[in-house]
Amino acid sequence: MLTACTKTGQTLCLGNEYKKETLLLIREKEEFICPVCGEEVVLKIGDQRIFHFAHKQGAACFESYDGETQRHMEGKLQLYHWLIGQNIPAILEFYDREIEQRPDIMFQYQGKKYALEFQCSFLPEQVFSKRTKTYLQNGYIPLWIISNHHLQVKKRNIAALSNFHYLFLRPSETGKLYIPAYCPEKHCFHFLASIVPFSIKNAFTYHDANPLKQIKLQQLLNPSNPFKKVAFTNWEKELNRFKINWTQTPGARSNSFLNELYNRNMNLFLLPPEIGLPVPHSLYIYTAPIVWQAYLMLDVLLNKKPGDLLTVNEVSFHMNKRIKRKEIMVRSLPQLNNVSFMEPVLDYFYILERLGILGKFNETTFQLQQRIKIPKSNHEKEMASFEFHQKIKG
């Protein structure tokens, strides 16, 4: 904790770079209390850690910062100084008594109030969502920044992302989705944008790093990363690797999706090339794209003849049925508004339209133009793949 009150009601913020001698003098004269619980706190001015306040042993403060790591304190301080350096009114550890929440930094920018949280430790999804909701309901724009040590960028353009990471997904002012991260050791922001998952854990993404000194708040809120499309050959390569790994896991035998394919005389490796395509909003869905796209094929597309119509309602009905059975799962994205699983579905239908499988009949209705052919052998699969590649080249 870096901010405390004195008994006379003044605030002492250690973000204001006090010298050790000054703090020693203040400490002799003053007593400090926690702004949250009102209990006494101790000013620690040792040489090992950043100067900070700590509750006395046994204190039961509901917003306890006592387990706070050096990394968290340093990051918070650096971000605070970075904002102050841009003349942005900011308060370190601002305690909002009404909502009983204390963002790491509260700041005002372009007439809006922001709650910045630099998150170093793991936070359960419910706690994260509840805090975010409270901020949103009380006029704050939440700005969650994940500590960079949590990010695992595997290859240049692939990252392993868990549900925890996706909680940090936020929209830029222009609606681009990205995950902001910060590294206090290197004084550097990291941005993950253009995130397109190909499995539950792994996603293609565009990763960019910007030293703190080189960017302004405006760029943190609107990263300049261009939207990058996934190169299709890389996508296919990773998808194939994912299929092989998946079928070799011990749980594969009892997997309801693989079993359903098996019961219909299909298999994962003979799915048509139109199933498992990269789709812009597919991160709204937790389940791998190949799975939900295959379910759409089984539930909606295979039963139709060319010329038949399919409505958005019908598609939504089938998706909902799979979601109720937990065969398709959607992601919790607390910082985004109006997240609908239909968005990636419609993105996908748009691609099928471009491939000549579907046509648009009217605003809420599609018409099947051409059946998706299910390959019966490796040879047929190769032929289908070849044709597909010719199509997407065009």
Residues at the site binding Zn ion, with contacts judged by CB under 5 A: 34, 36-37, 61
| The token pair that represents 346 in the structure block | 């419609």
**Do 151 and 48 form a contact (C-beta atoms < 8 A)?**
no
Burial pattern 62-82, b for ≥16 Cβ within 10 A else e, equals eeebeebeebbbbbbbbbbbb
> Distance between CA 243 and CA 261 in Å, rounded?
14
| The token pair that represents 257 in the structure block | 């999706």
By C-beta, is 42 or 374 nearer to Zn ion?
Answer: 42
Helices 289-296 and 312-324 meet at what angle, rounded to 10? 120
**Do 66 and 53 form a contact (C-beta atoms < 8 A)?**
no
Instruction: Provide, rounded to whole angstroms, the least separation between the CB of residue 57 and Zn ion.
Output: 13
Instruction: Provide, rounded to whole angstroms, the least separation between the CB of residue 37 and Zn ion.
Output: 3
**Do 159 and 153 form a contact (C-beta atoms < 8 A)?**
yes
Instruction: Provide, rounded to whole angstroms, the least separation between the CB of residue 34 and Zn ion.
Output: 3
| DSSP secondary structure string for all residues of 80-101 | HHHHHTTT--EEET--BTTTTB
Beta carbons within 10 angstroms of residue 126's beta carbon = 9
By C-beta, is 13 or 37 nearer to Zn ion?
Answer: 37
Backbone angles phi, psi at 241, to 5 degrees: -60, -45
Tokens 């990252």: give the residue.
159
**End-to-end Cα, the chain, rounded Å:** 59
Instruction: Provide, rounded to whole angstroms, the least separation between the CB of residue 128 and Zn ion.
Output: 21
| The token pair that represents 73 in the structure block | 């304190």
**Do 118 and 153 form a contact (C-beta atoms < 8 A)?**
no
Instruction: Provide, rounded to whole angstroms, the least separation between the CB of residue 33 and Zn ion.
Output: 8
Instruction: Provide, rounded to whole angstroms, the least separation between the CB of residue 100 and Zn ion.
Output: 12
By C-beta, is 95 or 191 nearer to Zn ion?
Answer: 95
Instruction: Provide, rounded to whole angstroms, the least separation between the CB of residue 55 and Zn ion.
Output: 6
